A and B are shown apart, each in its own frame.
Chain A
């Protein structure tokens, strides 16, 4: 047995019990951390839904609020839902083309020094507090002109732009260089390579990034307080006027003295939460679908 000078004891893992204990303990810690994250989400959703459920009905979504009403006759928050739709929709339309162009420029054309400088600028913009963006847009578009849906959606767009541009950059960088070389090696111009070979690969990722940015700004309150918050009770669709929005409505209703308003704030919060959960799930679904199409399309 010991022809090579090795005995049975040399091969036995003497530290095994201790290693196994440490392994178990670390696994448990990791599991706990994951559980805390999930629990936080469950608690938030549960507490909001529980308080929001009593006031949650179809009227909330379809009826405008009644001005100066007292007691339970408050009707819905259709103006806030319509306004949020317009504000976020416009912000998305402003952001997506610009964001994609920024990302294409930085990944496909810019020199490395410019790329890192602009990427840093985008990260800084991403870190600028929403209230600062709000004051900036207030000074730029609201002072002298009054509040409007345009100003509100522009403020939201400022928050969305770095998210869309950065996420698009990430997926563009994932497209292998070999694929670009394949096209360029045929004598295909750079712009055509980008448009027909590189961008189609990233469509799923761009959509995912955009949807996540939408989910993020749909709940933003601060940028809209300054730019699109002085509103009436009627349902408005035109961005030429200030538009009510869900987060601002939640904020105002929660400040109210009337408990019925608090219930409606919870209900609106529930709707907002459900919307954000749904958009996030959609983003995930689109992302996995895009990946599957990329890797195993036969």
Chain B
């Protein structure tokens, strides 16, 4: 497990903004799921998004790489800038956005292909054909899976355990060299040992990537994240509910000295 000290020690001196979210609102069929979220995501840090169920954590993270485009009734307001470029407009190709901002999902979803092909396929399709074998090995090593699978790369990915499948999905995501890796509760279906392995690899990899991780596990956020955003549920006059960003600060501040009462209630377990 990573200690709090390691995380603090590895934080770079200067923070570069990789994603700038401004007044983001998200709606499903006109019903608000998120309102007025403004926050920046910094390069080479792990940014955690925590909050109770239904607070729009997943909706938020899926906005960051246009994954919500797949939902017909979805609509969005506000802007998201990626290295200064607005990525929300209809003239932006979501495929190009996802090419730079990869995603790891809640449930491991390997392709029904061999372990090797799971990692290699994306590279091949995206034109990264040179030294494919090395590329696959590097990605699997980075995802802390190489030693476990190097002797059976031709075996089906579906024969792996859940934790191994999730690390394979991480290897697949980083093999195509994204800039940002979004993780939507990547460890919620895994046992503590597999969870530990995934937290460790995020810690090891953040010098090369920026991570945004959604988690409902506060200990996990405390362990892995440099910055933490706390989302909560707001209720309107007519009973409608939506998520909003309550507080965004360095993880230590969120957990030891939050400025908002709601954050304090949540992190100390007094919520709801």
Partners in one complex: yes
Which residues of chain A have a CB within 8 Å of any CB of chain B?
111-112, 176, 178-190, 192, 196-197, 201, 294-298
Which of these binds chain A: B7-15, B108-116, B191-199, B217-225?
A: B108-116
Which of B45-53, B97-105, B141-149, B230-238 lines the interface with chain A? B97-105
Total count of chain B residues near the partner, CB < 8 A: 32
Known: A185-B173, A187-B99. 20 other contacts (CB 8 A): A179-B111, A179-B112, A180-B70, A181-B67, A181-B103, A185-B65, A185-B103, A186-B98, A186-B125, A186-B176, A187-B176, A187-B178, A188-B122, A192-B125, A197-B111, A294-B112, A295-B158, A297-B156, A298-B156, A298-B158
Considering only CB atoms, which chain A residue lies closest to B103 in the complex?
Answer: A185
The distance in angstroms between the C-alpha atoms of A295 and B173, with both chains bound, is: 23
Listed by A's residue number, 15 A-B pairs whose Cβ atoms lie within 8 Å are: A180-B70, A181-B109, A182-B105, A183-B111, A184-B98, A185-B65, A186-B98, A186-B125, A186-B173, A187-B95, A187-B96, A187-B99, A188-B126, A189-B95, A190-B95
Complex Cα–Cα for A178 and B189 (A):
15
The answer to whether A185 touches B67 (Cβ under 8 A) is yes
Query: In the complex, A189 Cα to B103 Cα: how many Å?
Result: 15
CB distance from B149 to the nearest CB of A (A): 13
Distance, CA A201 to CA B121, complexed state (A): 16
B104: A residues at CB distance < 8 A: 185
Q: Does B107 count as interface, using CB distance less than 8 angstroms?
A: yes
| Residue of A whose beta carbon sits closest to that of B122 | A186
Quote the shortest CB–CB distance from A186 to chain B (angstroms). Answer: 4
Answer whether residue B169 sits at the interface, using C-beta atoms and an 8 A cutoff.
yes
Residues of B within 8 A of A196 (CB): 121, 125
Contacts of B98 in A (CB 8 A): 184-187
Q: Is B155 on the interface with A (CB-CB < 8 A)?
A: yes
The residue of chain A having its C-beta at the shortest distance from the C-beta of B178 within the complex is A187
Chain A residue numbers with a CB within 8 Å of B65 are 185
Complex CA–CA separation, A183 to B111 (angstroms): 8
A182 engages B102 (CB within 8 Å):
no
Residues in A whose Cβ lies below 8 Å from that of B105: 178, 181-182, 185
By beta carbon, the residue of chain B nearest A201 is B112
Q: Are A187 and B155 in contact (CB under 8 A)?
A: no
Please state if B102 and A186 are interface contacts (CB–CB under 8 Å). Answer: yes
User: Across the interface, which residues of B come within 8 angstroms of A201, CB to CB?
Assistant: 112
Give B241 Cβ to nearest chain A Cβ, in Å: 24
Q: Name A185's closest neighbour in chain B (CB-CB).
A: B103
Instruction: Give A178 to B110 CA distance when docked, in angstroms.
Output: 9
